[in-house]
Amino acid sequence: MNVFDEMGVYWAEMADQNQTEKQVQFLKNHLELSMIVLDVACGTGRHIIPLSQQGYHMVGLDVSLNLLRIAKQRSKETQLIRGDMRFLPFKAEAFGAAISVDTSFGYLPTEVEDRVSLVEIKRVLAKRSVFIIDVFNRQELTQKYKDKNQLDKQKEYPHFFLQQKRNVSPEGDWLCDLWIIQDKLSGQLSTFEHEVRLYERTELEGMLENAGFEVKEVYGGYENGKFSSQSPHLLLIVETK
C-alpha cells in the first residue's frame, strides 16, 4: 500500500486544492479532442473527469484501489483501470496521447523502474503521439532548501488540519515530506511519510529520449511560462518518434 492509498480521502482533499483548474486548462491547450488519452497515475480522477465532461476521450490508470474508488464515486462514467505503470495492461499503440500531471512520476522503487515505465508509456502510444509529463523542478527545490534543514507549513482543509514538514535529501535527489493530519470530526492524529525521486531537466530529457520520445516543448508552469532554475515545475511535452 502506498502513501496515497493509505491517505485516501485526506489525499483527495489535498490534491483537489493543488491548482487543478490551471492544470486542466494547460492540458486542454495541448491535447486534441480527437485523441484517446491515457492518464497515468490518475488518482482521484481530478483531471480526467473534467476533461471527459468536456468531450475528451480519457482513460485513467492507477495502482491505488482507494483513489480509484473515490474517482468512481465522483463520476461513474469515467473509464478507470487499476494497474501498474511498469506493466500497462494495453495493446501497443492504443492511445493518441498520455499525461502524467502534478508529479505522478518518481515514486517507483528504483530509477531503473522509472525508466521501464517510460518505455511502457511509449509502447502504448501510436506514432507521433503526445506525452505530457509534469514533475517538481529539482533545481528550484534544492535552492529553496539549501540552507534549511526543513520547512514547516500548516494548512486547513475541509475535514482536517495539516502540518507539513518538508526537506530535500543532501544530494538533492529526493523530496521528503512528513504529513501530520488531525481529523476535524474525531480529533485523531495520523502521520504519513511521503518521498518522491527528483530529476534534473537534462536527466529527465535523456530518459525520455532513450525511451523513444522527442522533446518538443518545455515549460516552467501551467501558464506556459518559460522554464528556468526558479520555476516550480518542469513540464515537458514530448512526442513519440
List, as one string, the DSSP characters of 146-189: TT-S-EEEEEEETTEEEEEEEEE-TTS-EEEEEEEEEETTT--E
Both 188 and 206 in one domain: the answer is no
What is the per-residue pLDDT for 49?
97
Nearest alpha-carbon partner for 199 in 125, 135, 120, 122 = 135
What is the per-residue pLDDT for 214?
98
What is the per-residue pLDDT for 211?
98
Both 107 and 211 in one domain: the answer is yes
How many C-beta atoms lie closer than 10 Å to residue 194's C-beta?
A: 17
Both 106 and 168 in one domain: the answer is no
Both 28 and 104 in one domain: the answer is yes
The CATH number of the domain holding residue 230 is 3.40.50.150
C-alpha cell at 119: 518505455
Question: CA–CA separation, 135 vs 106, rounded Å?
Answer: 8
Both 29 and 85 in one domain: the answer is yes
Both 34 and 77 in one domain: the answer is yes
Model-level pTM?
Answer: 0.94
Both 168 and 85 in one domain: the answer is no
Which range of residues forms the domain containing residue 203? Answer: 3-136+199-240
Domain edge (last residue) among 180, 196, 212 = 196
What is the per-residue pLDDT for 1?
56
Cα–Cα distance list, 42 to 25, 49, 216 (Å): 16, 10, 23
Say which DSSP state 226 is in.
Answer: B
The CATH number of the domain holding residue 150 is 2.20.25
Q: Per-block average pLDDT, block size 10, for the chain (241 residues)?
A: 89 91 96 96 96 97 96 96 97 98 95 98 97 97 78 91 93 94 96 96 98 98 93 97 90
What is the per-residue pLDDT for 149?
63
Number of structural domains, the chain?
2
